[in-house]
Amino acid sequence: MKRLLYCLIFVLTTLSYAYSADITFSGKVIDAQTKTPLPGATLTITDLKISTITDLNGNFSFNRIPDKGSFLIQVSYLGYKYLNKTINFATTKSMVFELQPSLIEANEVVVTGTVTGADSKKNSTSVGVLSHDEMIDRPSTNIIDAISKVAGVSQITTGQAISKPVIRGLSYNRIVTINDGVKQEGQQWGDEHGVEIDQYSADRVEVLRGAASLLYGADALGGVINILEPLAAPEGTIKGEVLSNYSTNGGLTSNSAMLTGNEGGFVWRGRVTYKNAYSFKTPSYNFPNSGFNETSSEAMLGLNKSWGYSHVNVSYFKNNIGFYDPIVNSQGDFIDDNGNTFTRSEFTNRTLAYPKQAIAHFKIASNSNFFFKKGNLKLDLGYQNNVRKELPNANPGLFFDLNTYSLDAKYYQQAINGWQPVIGLSSDYGKSLNKGSEYLVPDYSNFGTGIFYYVKKDWAQSSFNAGLRYDYRNNKGEPLFTDGEQKFTAFENHFSNLSGAVGYTHQFSDQFNIKANLSTGFRAPNPAEQASNGVHEGTFRYEKGNPTLKAEKSYQADVSFQYSIETLDLNLSIYNNYMQDYIYLARRNNETIVANGESGQPQTFPLYRYQQDNANLYGTDASLIFHPVKFFHFENTFSYVHAQNLALKTPLPFIPATSLKNELRIEPDIKGLKSAYLSLGLENYFAQNRIDTFETPTGGYSLVNAGIGTSFNLGKQLVRLNISGNNLLNKKYYNHLSRFKPGRLSETDPTLGVYNQGSNVTFGIYIPLSI
């Protein structure tokens, strides 16, 4: 608590020196062709975390904003091309924005997850964006399941409740997830450790594909998932939303409610969410004890003033997830630890049985942006407590208690001859304790700090950016003796690295632009990779760490092309990522080890060891949006990654299969209805035969999906209804990254697997609130 008190004192001290002169910026939004006003257009200034909506005459007004500095404003309206414009409030107090009609609206989205916010055409990083509306129209079981629809993103799944992000073939600690401006910390080294974030809390998600260590430090070798909270409501208003979904497969019920307000610059927000599901059904049977329940609550209080903003977010996430041991009798029925038999057509009880997993995640995050006469300071402070229990019975076997403190500061100096310099400092400290009866990793602590310098310059048709960063990390593990034998030996390691990045963008015309990025990254081995020594029950294997592991280093080149006209938007990214000392978990020569299982009796487990070799990953991400007429919309994404262990000349393990996803949407104009659509989707996953020696190949398959939805008014209240169907043909298939596929579920029966979820229809209602 002392650390939190010191951080609060620092914030208040900084606030007292912030520049506080303010102005009102106003204007109008009109159609560029007809010059008629556009009522209901949205204007946002992300650097100030504010937004407003035009009135019936197209007029808008921002109050209490800084009278110095240049800010990027985005203007959006349904059926029109996004407009992004940088405005210096010292010289401009009013402006008329003219929007061009377009069948494709979101082709110049503002990206905030990089050092300086910019529209996508002047951001050298390859970025995919998932909007709030897309997340509503395409229901999912968790936040990563929703994000996996972005090109280049996959997920490692453990049933319907647990998903881990994979970006361009990299996952685990190589992917950084940012929420409330703070890096999420929740023992993310584990196979069955999901991301503890309420999926409905996201207003928008940005996926930064490729090494992003310059800004986010160690671990961001594969990319970053930046989950953005809703902006503050327009001044003098209270807004919110209520949504509810029900899915036929697994009986998943999802309910969430949110309110947010702004009174004179005092902003607040609150949300509660509850989800509950029983065991999901494959095309052949129900998979027992695969249900889950999730409870989430969050609150935000803050100030939006002329000196900037300062917000405090408090959230609590709780998840209980059922597991099932791979024990099957001769009739193909499942048997639990107590000898109870469940046939494959049974078990739809919402009460979870043992074994199961219980997770609780508490977080406090402070996000501030203070403006001074010659620059501004962005400051993010965080405290997180992650409690993770694996329960073979009422007493936890594995029990991890992790506390993490973090600080991230970036000072933006006043531009010099058009060059925008930024200086950044980040630091974090974490300590994890074992409180269960079993031990997989030792008690450990880690500390890291980094400093970077970045500079960017924009020209009319081009932009250039470059930066350098130095990182230092320290990992320390504690010794442990059990029954007179040493389980873990003490260790302490120090790692440091100098990394950098350089990027360039150029617009050849309004239709065609190119982006190029060269970057290096760095990741220190985590304590699990260094010191694991035990049975990881959720993964059905024994894991052995390696204390001599070196830090990973990444050298990545990335080129992206975008061609965009009124009816077509095409994006193509090509990348190569050379990984020095790539760390991976592998089993060699069918090694096994005898250890006590959940029953306390000796069992034989497959032995997996952490190893490292040089590796190379290359591939492509592509997306195509074709909107030839107002009512017809076709969208396509393609992802391919080739990953090779250069030392062994074998494929890297657990690499996603090539995918091609297509969606056709018909958007008719029906009197009395708004944003009506009918969609038909076909997801194609190719066979994955490029596998390591201990893996099993996975066959290709295609899934048929469909959806229908519309918005309409009940009196003055807008209501949105959606129905979506996934795997409508009830296809039997194994996703290559499913931890329930054959070869990953059972050591004694390599043919045992659990199919992915069968056909599923989700009914949803969404009600936006405006008071």
Q: Quick check: pTM over 0.75?
A: yes
Does residue 562 contact residue 182 with C-beta atoms inside 8 Å? no
pLDDT the model gives residue 343: 55
Q: Is the predicted pLDDT of residue 606 greater than 50, yes or no? A: yes
Residue 748: per-residue pLDDT: 66
Report the C-alpha gap between 196 and 637 in whole angstroms.
Answer: 27
The pLDDT assigned to 85 comes to 86
pLDDT at 539 over 70: no
Q: 28-40, pLDDT tens digit by residue?
A: 999 989 999 999 8
Are 586 and 692 a contacting pair, CB within 8 Å?
Answer: yes
Position 601 confidence tier, pLDDT thresholds 50, 70, 90 = confident
453 pLDDT tier (thresholds 50, 70, 90): very high
The per-residue pLDDT for range 314-348, each reduced to its tens digit, is 999 999 998 876 555 445 555 554 555 655 445 56
Question: How far apart, in Å, are the Cα atoms of 630 and each of 104, 463, 556, 559?
Answer: 9, 34, 40, 32
| Confidence label for 111 from pLDDT (cuts 50, 70 and 90) | low
Mean pLDDT of the chain: 87
What is the helix (H) or strand (E) element at residue 4, kind and residue range?
A: helix 2-17
- The maximal CA–CA distance of the chain, rounded, in angstroms, is 84
For range 213-234, the mean pLDDT: 87
pLDDT grade for 7, boundaries at 50, 70 and 90: low
* Percent of the residues in the chain that have a pLDDT greater than 70, as a whole number: 90
CA-to-CA distance for 75 and 83, rounded, in angstroms? 5
Residue given tokens 């760390």 in the structure block: 583
Q: Choose among 679, 681, 677, 680: nearest CA to 709.
A: 677
Residue 539 burial (CB < 10 Å; 0-12/13-18/19+)?
A: buried
Predicted local distance difference test score (pLDDT) of residue 16 = 44
Residue 6: is its pLDDT beyond 80? Answer: no
Range with the lowest mean pLDDT among 172-176, 198-202, 531-535, 567-571? Answer: 531-535
Question: How sure is the predictor about 352, in pLDDT bands with cuts at 50, 70 and 90?
Answer: confident
Which pLDDT does position 126 carry in this prediction? 85
Q: For position 555, what pLDDT does the model report?
A: 94
pLDDT band, very low/low/confident/very high, at 12 (cuts 50, 70, 90): very low
Give the list of residues 6+ apart from residue 714 with CB closer than 8 angstroms, or none: none
For 392-440, how does the pLDDT look when each residue is reduced to its tens digit (9 = 90+)? 888 898 899 999 999 999 999 988 888 989 999 999 999 999 998 888 8
The per-residue DSSP string of 219-258 comes to: TTTSEEEEEEPPPPPPTTEEEEEEEEEEESSS--EEEEEE
Confidence at residue 277, expressed as pLDDT on a 0 to 100 scale: 93
Q: What is residue 9's predicted lDDT score, i.e. its pLDDT? A: 46
Residues 712-770: tens digit of each pLDDT? 999 889 999 999 999 999 999 999 999 888 877 766 677 888 899 999 999 999 999 98
Torsion angle in degrees (nearest 10) through CA of 740, 741, 744, 749: 100
Phi and psi at residue 161, to the nearest 5°: -100, -25
Which DSSP category does 527 fall into?
H
Residues in the chain: 771
Confidence of residue 5 (pLDDT cuts 50, 70, 90): very low
In this prediction, what percent of the chain has a pLDDT beyond 90?
Answer: 49
CA dist., res. 170 & res. 564, Å (int): 29
Cis before 355 (ω within 30): yes
Q: Is the dihedral of CA 281, 282, 286, 291 positive or negative?
A: negative
Distance CA 113, CA 235 (A): 25
- Token pair 């009512």: residue: 631
Q: Which of 218-222, 223-227, 258-262, 561-565 has the lowest mean pLDDT?
A: 218-222
Q: Which residue has the higher pLDDT, 387 or 746?
A: 387
Band of residue 623 on the pLDDT scale cut at 50, 70, 90: very high
Q: What is the pLDDT of residues 243-259, one digit of tens each?
A: 999 999 999 999 999 99
CB 626, CB 567: distance < 8 Å: yes
Question: 90-94, 112-116, 639-643: which range is least confident on average?
Answer: 112-116
